[in-house]
Amino acid sequence: VWATTVRGLLRVEPKRRVVRVYGVRDGLSNQEFPSRPVMTRDRDRILVGSPDGLVMFAPADVHPSVEPPRLLVQSVDVSRADLRTPLDASQPIVLKPGDRDLRVVARLLSFNDARNHAFRFRLRGYDADWVDVDSTGERVYSQLDPGDYTLQIVARAADNIWSPPQTLSVSVQPPWWQTWIAMTAFAGIVVAVGWWSADAYRRRLKRRHAWQLSEREREFAEQASLAKTRFLATLGHEVRTPMTGVLGMSELLLDTPLDGQQRSHVESIRRAGRHLLRLVNDALDLARIESGRLELADEPFDLRDVVDEATTLMAPLAKQKGLAFRVIVDDDAPAGMRGDASRVCQILLNLLANAIKFTERGCVELRVGALSPRGVRFEVIDTGPGLSREQQARLFRRFEQADGARTAARYGGSGLGLAICQELSAEMGGSIELESAPGEGARFIVVLPLPHAVVPGTHDDAQALLDSRGGPLTLLLVEDDPTVAEVICGLLRAQGHRVTHVSHALAALAESATGTFDAALLDLDLPGMDGLALASHLRMQGFDRPLLAITARADADAEPQAMAAGFQGFLRKPVTGAMLAALLQGVPRVEMA
């Protein structure tokens, strides 16, 4: 079907559904055909009119092209570093990171009505469908994501025949941080950081759990230590009270006429009581050391008095076993020192008692010398069985003895004495060493770097105190335990004093209001109103005589509390006559009202 238009001749093929426009580019002198076409008689010609004249042609001689046109990719370029850079279209297109504005130009190898050429582009991975482009055959891709693409291009000429697709491979390289190596490295870093974070969290959690566990264990240990300290303090209190009866009654009994066997029995009772008391004191000392509550006195004392006190107590024991007992004090030994005299004496007593206990024959010797630049050195030497290295390694452990149970069964003891000696020496800044070999005896060396001090005078021993006591005193004793009261009254009356005993605080207040006393001896643990409160009431009532505390308390705070409450003297149970005599020294006498 042919038709005329002002834009040219139209050829319509319904079967092929193709419309072809013929104009000046196809050889016509003019493309305006205002009149209708006319067929010749033989119907093999068509005659049409134009402003330039008549045009006649044979439709049978017009043969449209059925061959697809040839398509060529003319050029490919990209904007790289702000410059247009051409790329080889015959090779796969590779775009670097930062490249943009990829431009592809395609051409048909046909000069037949080039204005009617049509192009289609499809970039697989980027375009969802074909994209139509005008006759210029040019398309620009501004920015492509990293990856691989396939560019397909088709075109048609004026005869509406589409060319076979031209294919280009396009690869966009990722930036270095998007490469698989970098991504693998990043993933590894993330995994490592995650693992490190998890491990750090686990370690932090573990440390927190360990800290919480240690805190809980510390709390449990403190509670256990406090409970143990309370138990030992209570035990010491409960033991000291009856021990006052045992030791006091034995002392009173020894002052009565006894035959040899009776005196031996009483001496055995007193030794057993002292041993039991020593065990309790050792346990209390260890408890104080463990809890850090052991307080050492810092007072000047006469070193020779301490040595005399220890040797006076130990010499009779050595004599009973038939041992020679020697004391050698060097000329350069300091006369006065500053420290805790009772603890120094305790160390000497423990070492001498051990030496006497384990020595069957021979001698026990105590040597005292100066320590340069300051301090004192004690040596306790015995001719006992000696100790092997294994025995020496166990010797200073708590509740340990040389041969364990056999030593305890044969010689007795608790295994605390040497442990306490070592702890006390360390508390004073010193040390204790042992030199021994089997069959060669033992030498204990104690070094105490105590400062030297000037002592105004020396104290007499306990017996001298008893012998030099003044006139009788009138005393008020407030003690709730009848046995302890009987012992104290007996010991005081044996020294010539007059004693009035009451068992509770109200009776004491009544007696002090009606009687005249030189001093009052108060038990701190009285029923109802305790000794500290009683002291306050006595002062308020006008009692201005010395107040002396007697208690079974074993804690270190008892004496400071008593002194703060107005007491002038302090004594722990069990008491002896010598202890009472020392306590009453200096108490002024007053005339009885």
Question: Which of these, 408, 403, 336, 417, lies nearest to 376 by C-alpha position?
Answer: 336
Contact at 8 Å (CB) between 292 and 226? no
Residue 411's pLDDT is what?
Answer: 45
Q: Give me the mean pLDDT over the 374-398 stretch.
A: 87
Rounded (5°) CA angle 299-304-305? 65
Q: Has residue 565 got a pLDDT over 80?
A: yes
Q: Give me the mean pLDDT over the 137-158 stretch.
A: 92
Residue 226's pLDDT is what?
Answer: 73
Contact at 8 Å (CB) between 352 and 314? yes
Domain 297-448: assigned CATH number: 3.30.565.10
Distance CA 200, CA 492 (A): 74
Q: Give the 3-state DSSP-derived string for 451-519, with helices as H, strands as E and coil as C.
A: CECCCCCCCCCHHHHHHCCCCCCEEEEECCCHHHHHHHHHHHHHCCCEEEEECCHHHHHHHHHHCCCCE
Structure tokens that stand for 390 in this block? 């294994």
Q: Has residue 588 got a pLDDT over 90?
A: no
Contact at 8 Å (CB) between 365 and 443? no
CATH fold label, 71-178: Immunoglobulin-like (2.60.40)
Read off the pLDDT of residues 425-452 as tens digits, 9 standing for 90 and up: 998 999 999 999 998 899 999 999 999 8
Q: Has residue 477 got a pLDDT over 90?
A: yes
Question: Which of these, 105, 72, 107, 70, lies nearest to 87 by C-alpha position?
Answer: 105
Residue with the larger pLDDT of the pair 220 and 510: 510
Q: Has residue 351 got a pLDDT over 90?
A: yes
Confidence of residue 538 (pLDDT cuts 50, 70, 90): very high
- Which range is least confidently modeled, 235-249, 375-389, 401-415, 444-458? 401-415
Residue 267's pLDDT is what?
Answer: 84
Q: Has residue 409 got a pLDDT over 60?
A: no
Residue with the larger pLDDT of the pair 230 and 346: 346
- pTM of the predicted structure, to 2 decimals: 0.49
Residue 587's pLDDT is what?
Answer: 81
Structure tokens that stand for 112 in this block? 């037949």
Q: Has residue 486 got a pLDDT over 90?
A: yes
Residue 380 dihedral angles phi and psi, to the nearest 5°: -110, 115
Residue 509's pLDDT is what?
Answer: 94
Mean pLDDT of all residues belonging to the chain: 85
Q: Has residue 28 got a pLDDT over 60?
A: yes
Q: Give the 3-state DSSP-derived string for 326-380, with helices as H, strands as E and coil as C.
A: EEEECCCCCCEEEECHHHHHHHHHHHHHHHHHHCCCCEEEEEEEECCCCCEEEEE
Tracing tokens 């076979």 back to the chain, one arrives at: 164
Contact at 8 Å (CB) between 2 and 46? yes
Q: Where are the domains of the chain?
A: 2-61, 71-178, 184-263, 297-448, 462-584
Residue 29's pLDDT is what?
Answer: 76
Q: Is domain 462-584 in CATH 3.40.50.2300, yes or no?
A: yes
Q: Give me the mean pLDDT over the 398-420 stretch.
A: 57
Q: Give me the mean pLDDT over the 411-424 stretch.
A: 72
Structure tokens that stand for 135 in this block? 């006759």
Distance CA 89, CA 138 (A): 14
